[in-house]
Chains A and B, each alone.
Chain A
Amino acid sequence: MNATPSATNGPAVNGAAVNGAARRGSALAPAERALDIIGGDLTEKSLRLHLEGLAGVDAVGLEERAASLGTRSIKTTSKAWALDTIIRLIDLTTLEGADTPGKVRSLVAKAVNPDAADPTTPRVAAVCVYGDMVPSAIEALGPWHGDPDDGRISVAAVATAFPSGRASLAVKLADTADAVEAGADEIDMVIDRGAFLAGNYGLVFDQIVAVKEVCRRGDGSFAHLKVILETGELNTYDNVRRASWLAILAGGDFIKTSTGKVTPAATLPVTLLMLEVVRDWHRLTGERIGVKPAGGIRASKDAIKYLVTVAETVGEEWLQPHLFRFGASSLLNDVLLQRQKLTTGRYSGPDYVTID
Chain B
Amino acid sequence: MNFLDYAPAPESTSILNLKKSYGLFIDGEFVKGHGKPFLSISPSSEEAIAEIANANSTDVDAAVAAARKAYDRTWSKLSGADRGKYLFRIARLVQERARELAVAESLDNGKPIKEARDVDVPLVAAWFFYYAGWADKLDYAGLGPNPRPLGVAAQVIPWNFPLLMLAWKIAPALAAGNTVVIKPAETTPLSALIFAEILQQAELPAGVVNIITGAGDTGHALVNHSDVNKVAFTGSTAVGRAIAKSVAGTGKKLTLELGGKAANIVFDDAPIDQAVEGIVNGIFFNQGHVCCAGSRLLVQENVHDEVVDRLKARLATLRLGDPLDKNTDIGAINSQVQLDRVRELSDIGEAEGAERWSAPCVIPEKGFWFAPTIFTNVSTSSRIARDEIFGPVLAVLTFRTPAEAIAKANNTQYGLSAGIWSDKGSKILAVADQLRAGVIWANTFNRFDPASPFGGYKESGYGREGGRHGLAAYLKGASW
Of A62, A276, A312, which one neighbours B4 at CB under 8 angstroms? A312
CA distance A74 to B6 in the complex (A): 7
Q: Which stretch of B46-54, B152-160, B268-276 is in the interface? A: B268-276
CA distance A58 to B118 in the complex (A): 22
Contacts of B273 in A (CB 8 A): 55, 57, 61-62, 65, 276
Within the complex, the shortest CB–CB distance from A163 to chain B, in Å, comes to 29
Contacts of B1 in A (CB 8 A): 77-78, 81
CB pair A72 B6 closer than 8 Å: yes
CB pair B443 A71 closer than 8 Å: no
Contacts of B118 in A (CB 8 A): 71
Q: For the complex, is A298 an interface residue (Cβ under 8 Å from B)?
A: no
Given contacts A55-B271, A61-B444, A62-B274, contact A71 B3 (CB under 8 A): no
CB pair A316 B4 closer than 8 Å: yes
Q: For the complex, is A60 an interface residue (Cβ under 8 Å from B)?
A: yes
Of A72, A79, A81, which one neighbours B327 at CB under 8 angstroms? A72
CA distance A134 to B443 in the complex (A): 48
State the majority secondary structure of interface residues on A: helix
Within the complex, the shortest CB–CB distance from A84 to chain B, in Å, comes to 11
CB pair B4 A61 closer than 8 Å: no
Q: For the complex, is B261 an interface residue (Cβ under 8 Å from A)?
A: no
State the majority secondary structure of interface residues on B: loop
CB pair A56 B269 closer than 8 Å: yes
CA distance A56 to B425 in the complex (A): 12
Contacts of A316 in B (CB 8 A): 2-4
Of A60, A64, A65, A307, which one neighbours B3 at CB under 8 angstroms? A307
- Chain B 1-28 per-residue mask, 1 if CB under 8 angstroms from chain A, else 0: 1111011110000000000000000000
CB pair A60 B443 closer than 8 Å: yes
Contacts of A77 in B (CB 8 A): 1, 7
- Chain A 255-277 per-residue mask, 1 if CB under 8 angstroms from chain B, else 0: 00000000000000000000010
Given contacts A64-B277, A81-B1, A312-B317, contact A56 B6 (CB under 8 A): no
Contacts of A120 in B (CB 8 A): none
CA distance A319 to B269 in the complex (A): 32
Q: For the complex, is B278 an interface residue (Cβ under 8 Å from A)?
A: yes
- Chain B 266-305 per-residue mask, 1 if CB under 8 angstroms from chain A, else 0: 0001111111011000000000000000000000000000
CB pair A61 B8 closer than 8 Å: no
Given contacts A55-B270, A71-B114, contact A61 B278 (CB under 8 A): yes
Query: 8 Å CB contacts to B: which residues of A293-322?
Result: 307, 311-312, 316, 319
Q: For the complex, is A9 an interface residue (Cβ under 8 Å from B)?
A: no
Within the complex, the shortest CB–CB distance from A228 to chain B, in Å, comes to 23
Contacts of B269 in A (CB 8 A): 55-56
Q: For the complex, is A75 an interface residue (Cβ under 8 Å from B)?
A: yes
Q: For the complex, is B82 an interface residue (Cβ under 8 Å from A)?
A: no
CA distance A56 to B274 in the complex (A): 9
Query: In chain B, what residue has the closest Cβ to A65?
Result: B277
Query: In chain A, what residue has the closest Cβ to B443?
Result: A58
CB pair A79 B443 closer than 8 Å: no
Within the complex, the shortest CB–CB distance from B273 to chain A, in Å, comes to 5
CA distance A77 to B278 in the complex (A): 32
Query: In chain B, what residue has the closest Cβ to A273?
Result: B273
Given contacts A71-B118, A75-B9, A312-B317, contact A58 B274 (CB under 8 A): yes
Within the complex, the shortest CB–CB distance from A319 to chain B, in Å, comes to 7
CA distance A71 to B275 in the complex (A): 21
CA distance A60 to B274 in the complex (A): 9
Query: In chain A, what residue has the closest Cβ to B278?
Result: A61
Query: In chain A, what residue has the closest Cβ to B114?
Result: A71
Query: In chain B, what residue has the closest Cβ to A71?
Result: B114
CB pair B444 A60 closer than 8 Å: yes
CB pair A311 B278 closer than 8 Å: no
Contacts of B2 in A (CB 8 A): 316
Q: Which of A61, A65, A71, A85 has the most CB of B within 10 A?
A: A61
Query: 8 Å CB contacts to B: which residues of A48-105?
Result: 55-58, 60-62, 64-65, 71-79, 81-82, 85
Of A55, A71, A75, which one neighbours B7 at CB under 8 angstroms? A75
CB pair A73 B326 closer than 8 Å: yes
CA distance A76 to B274 in the complex (A): 32
CA distance A199 to B350 in the complex (A): 51
Q: For the complex, is B423 an interface residue (Cβ under 8 Å from A)?
A: yes
Q: A61-B273, A61-B274, A316-B4 are in contact. List 10 more A-B contacts (CB 8 A).
A: A55-B272, A55-B273, A56-B270, A56-B423, A57-B274, A60-B444, A71-B114, A74-B7, A74-B9, A79-B7
**Chain B: residues with CB nearer than 8 A to chain A?**
1-4, 6-9, 114, 118, 269-275, 277-278, 317, 326-327, 423, 443-444
Sample 19 A-B pairs with CB under 8 A, ordered by A number.
Answer: A55-B271, A56-B269, A56-B270, A56-B271, A57-B273, A58-B274, A61-B274, A61-B275, A61-B278, A62-B273, A62-B274, A71-B114, A72-B6, A73-B9, A74-B7, A75-B8, A77-B7, A311-B4, A316-B4
10 smallest CB-CB distances across A and B, nearest first, come from A61-B274, A73-B9, A56-B423, A73-B326, A58-B271, A58-B274, A78-B7, A55-B272, A76-B7, A56-B271
